[in-house]
A and B are shown apart, each in its own frame.
Chain A
Amino acid sequence: DIQMTQSPSSLSASVGDRVTITCRASQGISHYLAWYQQRPGKVPKLLIYAASTLQSGVPSRFSGSGSGTDFTLTISSLQPEDVATYYCQTYDWAPFTFGPGTKVDIK
């Protein structure tokens, strides 16, 4: 089974900062990588799929990149409403494993 890791596990940044979260797969998954945002007490929300395709309605400050084993989620200008935990997920071959999550706070 493919294992997913994320770094960092948590971060604190100021409003307006550029934030980068990394996700790594234990083996190549091509572009079959999704990113989710889960605000406290809320249902997860799909932000990006196919590694870099922005889901409809998601602000353009979110972007994704990468292929193979290394992927990145970038928030170009952190906003207060971005406080959340972010998860990556592979959907190449079952099991569609999630990463452990990255908690993002405002400094």
Chain B
Amino acid sequence: EVQLVESGGGLVQPGGSLKLSCAASGFTFSASDIYWVRQASGKGLEWVGQIRTKANSYATAYAASVKGRFTFSRDDSKNTAYLQMNSLKIEDTAVYYCTRPVGPSHYWGQGTLVTVSS
């Protein structure tokens, strides 16, 4: 069974940092790009970015709203992807999801809530 499990969310002050994890199982993690998507309460979906596979040089892409503050990484030996979030802003408050790419093997995690507040 395919599973993506996000963790690491919580309450952080503006300007602070947080690192999210996305633990994968049930598929060949090393062969899969991983996307990150977020959703603020009552709002729409926002694509945060992606990290590609080793075959694609672990290339990353970021939404303009997070570029320079967020960093994607992955550890294929642990079947885990990471989202390092720095210089957090109140508007980064959202549920953060990791997903597999669009296609027949698409899958979403349950999400982890990040709250940025003083």
Residues in chain A within 8 A of chain B (CB atoms): 1, 34, 36, 38, 43-46, 49, 55-56, 85, 87, 89, 91, 94-101
A91-B102 contact given A43-B110, A98-B46, A100-B44, CB 8 Å threshold: yes
Q: Which residues of B contact A101 (CB under 8 A)?
A: 44-45
Q: Is the CB of B47 within 8 A of A89?
A: yes
A91 to B102, CA, bound (A): 8
A89 to B104, CA, bound (A): 16
Q: Is the CB of A49 within 8 A of B103?
A: yes
Contact check: which of A55, A87, A97, A100 meets B106 at CB < 8 Å?
A: A55
Q: Which residues of B contact A49 (CB under 8 A)?
A: 102-104, 106
Number of A-B residue pairs having CB atoms within 8 Å of each other in the complex: 53
**Binary interface profile of B, 37-76, with partner A (CB < 8 Å = 1, else 0)?**
1000000111101100000000001111000000000000
Q: Which residues of A contact B101 (CB under 8 A)?
A: 91
For chain B, the count of residues having a C-beta within 8 Å of the partner chain is 22
Contact check: which of B64, B102, B109 meets A89 at CB < 8 Å?
A: B102
The secondary structure that dominates the A interface is: loop
Q: Which residues of A contact B106 (CB under 8 A)?
A: 46, 49, 55
A56-B104 contact given A43-B97, A95-B61, A95-B64, CB 8 Å threshold: yes
Output the least CB separation between B92 and chain A (Å). 16
Q: Which residues of B contact A95 (CB under 8 A)?
A: 47, 49, 61-64
Q: Is the CB of A44 within 8 A of B44?
A: no
A98-B45 contact given A1-B64, A43-B97, A44-B108, CB 8 Å threshold: yes
